Amino acid sequence: MLHISSHVTIPDSEIDIHAVRSQGAGGQNVNKVSTAIHLQFDIKASSLPPFYKEELLKLRDTRISDDGVITIKAQQHRTQERNREDALKRLCLLIQSVAIPRKKRRPTKPTKGSQNRRIESKKKQGRLKALRGTIE
C-alpha cells in the first residue's frame, strides 16, 4: 500500500513495476544487472478519489500520457530496492502536489512610484543618446 494522505492509499496491485537495465555508463555491472525501475500507474483505472483523478489528468506533465498513464523511470541508485523506493516516492509526491489548492492569481497594476522610475530612466537614456548625435 502506498499512503498518499491519511485518507488516500493506493494498493500495490494498481502500480505496475518492472526492473530494467540502467542506461549510460556504469562499467561491467550495468550490463548484467537490472537495477533501474520502470513504474506505471493508470490514473483512470485506479481507486483514487475523483478529485485526484481530474486534477492529475489536467496536469501538463510529460510523465503523464494522453491515455492517463503515469510513467516514472528511476535509475539514480545502484540497487533495485533504492530505485524502487525512489520511484514510489516520486509517484507519491506527484499525486500529493495535486491535493494542494492553487492560489488564485489576481491581476495587479504597477505602482505610481515604479511608473515614475521607468519614465525617468527612459528620459535619462534619451538624453544620453541625444548627446551622441553629430555636432553642427
pTM above 0.85, yes or no: no
State the average pLDDT for the chain: 84
The reported pLDDT for the residue numbered 27 is 66
Residue 34 φ/ψ, nearest 5 degrees:
-90, 90
pLDDT band at residue 30, thresholds of 50, 70 and 90? Answer: low
pLDDT of residue 29: 66
Residue 22 has pLDDT above 80, yes or no: no
* Strand segments (E) across the chain: 2-3, 9-10, 15-20, 36-42, 69-74
How far apart (Å, rounded) are the C-alpha atoms in residues 131 and 90? 59
pLDDT digits (tens, 9 = 90+) for 67-124: 888 888 888 888 888 988 999 898 888 888 888 888 888 999 999 999 999 999 999 9
Residue 126 CA, distance from chain mean position:
44
Confidence of residue 36 (pLDDT cuts 50, 70, 90): confident
Instruction: Indicate the range of 1-10, 31-40, 63-72, 94-103 predicted with least confidence.
Output: 1-10
Q: What pLDDT shows up at residue 123?
A: 97
In 3D, which of 49, 47, 39 has the Cα closest to residue 19?
Answer: 39
